[in-house]
Structure 1
Amino acid sequence: MILITGATGQFGSKAVDHVLKMGIDPNEISVLVRDVAKADHLKGQGVHIKEGNYEDNSSMVKAFNGVDKLLLVSSNDRAAVEYRTNHHKNAIQAAKEAGVKHIVYTSFVRKPGFEDTSIADFQNSHLASEQYLKQSGVDYTILQNSIYAEMIPAFIGGDFMETGTILFPAGEGKASWVLREELAEAAAHVLLTTGHENRTYTLTNNNSVGFKDIATALSEVLGKEINYTPIDMNEYKTALSKAGVPELYIGMLVMWGAALAQHTMDKEDNTLSKFLGRAPTAISQFLKKIYS
């Protein structure tokens, strides 16, 4: 029996889809959801619905009973990072108590020196979760996923189509952007194939892309010149505030912009290509689909 957590979320739901596409009987798949009322589409797929959440140990132990492999999709809690870490530790402990044999955990791409970057707290949460998993005694696979390509539209905003200029504080930084869909497909591959016990995989695109490259790709898609201008961080924050962007989102955009400028996510690896059996979608293709 396979169980996938966060199954009503964007990653978990895609992982369920891919496991089913790979031919697994729905009766062999369980999903953990916080709210059964939001799981109608999963019921329609014929999988077993288990209700529970990362803060309720007993609900997870009950849900994990009889499970051989667990896909632990990392918590998206927006509170302090220690809550996310505790969510992961709670799930790992519950899985151990329930006798789960193998845990696959969705972590985040990491490079040396991350401790001095704007996403250090975020990275430390994943690092602590990875360490706890390794020390649990349960077989593990850690998927260090790269940054989602789907975040690009939020970073570049919508004004660039009128102004012809992308303003973002990422400097010359690049990232190895990957579609969430393809990372979920890779997770399904790991769940359904052998030889992944006690391994850590870096899942990135084959090439890192910066915002100058993104602007060039958008120019081709839109048939007009789009340029990228690295904006000063304080100017960027002021512009967002004047535009009425909520403080929570300003903080998020600034954090990721700074992280990109610090070259924290330009790590390249071909493991994802091997798992997919093809090259990951190029960012130019992704942008064409979104903006054409």
Structure 2
Amino acid sequence: MILVTGASGHLGRLVIENLLKSVPASQIAGMVRNAEKAKDLEAQGIDIRIGDYHDPASMEAAFQGVEKLLLISSSDFNNRLQQHKNAVDAAKKSGVKHIFYTSVAMKDINTSPLKPLLEDHFQTEAYIKDSGFTYTFLRNTLYYDVIPMFLGEKVFETGVYFPAGEGKVAFATRADLAEGTARVLTGEGVENKTFYLTGAEAVSFSDIARELSALSGKEVTYNSPDPKEFEDTLKQFGLPEGIVYMSVLFAAGIKNNDFENTEGTLEEILGHKPESLSGFLKGIYSNN
């Protein structure tokens, strides 16, 4: 039995869709906090179980009979490490044999502006190892899918406004990462290994502006403002403090080239090239 946590979320749902291509539904379970959001998965024969990272007892029950656990990192940054520890502890009590964990592909967390936000990924990896599990770590790059959030809805009028300098990112789509994750979950020889899953090309936000210009037929400028100016601008738009904080830190991490390394592992696992920048942007903005 393979169980996917966060099964009703973007990544979890896509992983399950890919698993169904090679694994009977009767061998797949999904953990969710709200069963209503997973009705479609349940209709496909997926065993939907209720569990919450903040509630160890709920996870201990959800993990019963599970051999392989895909622990998708929590999207709730409030004491996220403890949430992950709760899941690992529950897995141990439930007899789970193998934990697959979605971590992050970075150059060096210790020199990154994002250390306060992302160090818990590596602390979680250490905790899984120290707990005696067979492990597989999926160190995922940043999603192409977050680019529209950084660009804003009026990017063709206002241009790209993001303080990332000329820092580059080896983005990959959530869909490609989900397909790769499903293949690793069902693959052989993945025990006690770390996979760096990145796109095939590293691109900057000036590259993104150039692609948008070519796509729209009009110039889309790129402005990398002072980080404080950027922060103040986001606050003026009334964005939540947490969103502002994360946006500023991710921009700083990108400017620091934390995510520029490209690896061929994802392409090798998929058996095809990951989505390109131009392909992704065409899919999102082709009607503009």
Query: Can you list the C-alpha shifts for 1:240-274, whole angstroms capped at 9, x where unaligned?
Result: 22233333222221111111111111111010001
Describe the SS at the equivalent of 2:20: helix
Measure, in 2, the Cα distance between the counterparts of 1:206 and 1:48.
Answer: 35
Identical residues among aligned pairs (%)? 42
- For structure 1, the 5+ residue unaligned runs are none
Deviation at 1:230, TM superposition (A): 1.2
Measure, in 2, the Cα distance between the counterparts of 1:101 and 1:251.
Answer: 37
Describe the SS at the equivalent of 1:16: helix
Q: 156, 166, 170: which one pairs with 2:164?
A: 170
Measure, in 1, the Cα distance between the counterparts of 2:125 and 2:232.
Answer: 37
Query: Hey, what does 2:113 align to over in structure 1?
Result: 118
Q: 2:156 aligned with 1:161, yes or no?
A: yes
Query: Can you list the C-alpha shifts for 1:83-133, whole angstroms capped at 9, x where unaligned?
Result: 211111111111111111111000011212x22322102221001100011
Query: Hey, what does 2:74 align to over in structure 1?
Result: 75
Query: Hey, what does 1:105 align to over in structure 2?
Result: 101
Query: Can you list the C-alpha shifts for 1:26-65, whole angstroms capped at 9, x where unaligned?
Result: 1111111111122211111111111111122222122111
Measure, in 2, the Cα distance between the counterparts of 1:87 and 1:19.
Answer: 25
Q: 2:235 aligned with 1:236, yes or no?
A: no
Q: Is the 8 A contact 1:179 1:281 kept in 2?
A: yes
How many pairs align? 286
Structure 1 segment 252-267 matched on structure 2, within 5 A: 252-267=246-261
Change (3 A) 1:138 1:31: same
Structure 2: which amino acid aligns with 1:88? H
Structure 2: which amino acid aligns with 1:122? L
Measure, in 2, the Cα distance between the counterparts of 1:124 and 1:49.
Answer: 31
Instruction: Report runs of 4+ in structure 1 exceeding 6 Å deviation.
Output: none
Describe the SS at the equivalent of 1:143: strand
Q: TM-score, structure 1 length as denominator?
A: 0.95
Query: Hey, what does 2:143 align to over in structure 1?
Result: 148
Structure 2: which amino acid aligns with 1:84? R
Q: 2:137 aligned with 1:138, yes or no?
A: no
Measure, in 2, the Cα distance between the counterparts of 1:10 and 1:59.
Answer: 22
Query: Hey, what does 1:202 align to over in structure 2?
Result: 196
Measure, in 2, the Cα distance between the counterparts of 1:246 and 1:3.
Answer: 33
Which range moved further: 135-144 or 229-238? 229-238
Measure, in 2, the Cα distance between the counterparts of 1:102 and 1:245.
Answer: 40
